Amino acid sequence: MEIDLLQFGNKKAGKAKPVVLEEEEEQTAESGPRIELGRCTVVPFLIVFFFLNVIVASVLNFYAIAQKIEKNHFFSVDLRPNLTATEKEALEKRILEVPGVKNVRYVSRAASFRDLQTQLGIALPESENSLSDSMIIYLRSKKDLANLQERLENMEDVKETYVDLINIQYREDRAKFYKVNIVMFFGVFFLPLVILTLFIFYNGFSLEFLNKYPIFEDERRARKRAKWINVLPMVVCAVIATLAFLNLYLFFGELLTSINETYKILSLKELLIPQIIVAAGICLLIILLPFWPYKRYVGDET
């Protein structure tokens, strides 16, 4: 006589394993197939956070350039002839003490004559040099220009002052250009990418909720688990994308400097903290925001 050991063991233990398996299969069939997330959130998170870093770095560089242009307004002062070196040093100290003056640079008549020949593209004999020794006065703000010009003209060692209004207007236009770029990058690129980040997270959250809700049968618990299970991939992607961007930024920064030293961008130290703050701020915003899943759950369709 043959004995079904599996059936005998089940009866002896008072269990009904086949029945449990059938119930689990029915529950799985009712809840629908599990939707695997895979790369549906990881790859988009990497791409979005990388471009967010690009935009933040661009905005910071535009701001730094605009500030540098606005803080470097200057005008020149021609000195009285035959001043001794001691008199020139004393005059320079007096000018530096005037409120609104940021810096002073002395330019000899010989250096001015060489610059003139370079601009004209011709060679002139030194005997034709009728220029004076001068000083370049750098301002803290453009609003101090008129007052400084009046005060310096009253100094006895100053022959005359010269303000290049065309250059000042050109610099103001450049500063406005970079400020417009800041607004455009922030409004046209940065904010839409932040919204896209929220959308990607919401999609991952909703898909995970649809997978967990039939198991937990508690919407609040399933919603909480679905949210936190997507937080870790988002944070990891933010870190990886930021590190990848900073390495590329450092490489291209050194490349630009090797091509032309005038191409100066913010250093990695100046950029690191703002980049981290922006990435951490977006992640924290998503963590703090409440999320609700799609209204239609898997298994509701007939």
pLDDT in tens, 227-275: 777 888 889 999 999 999 999 998 888 888 777 766 778 888 888 899 9
Q: pLDDT tens for residues 101-111?
A: 888 888 887 88
Other CB atoms closer than 10 Å to residue 172's CB: what's the count? Answer: 14
The token pair at 43 is: 């790859």
User: E strands, 33-171, where?
Assistant: 74-79, 101-107, 134-139, 158-162
Domain range annotation of the chain: 35-68+171-288, 74-140
CATH assignment, 74-140: 3.30.70.3040
Distance (Å) of CA 98 to CA 133, 223, 280: 20, 65, 45
Averaged over 59-77, what is the pLDDT? 86
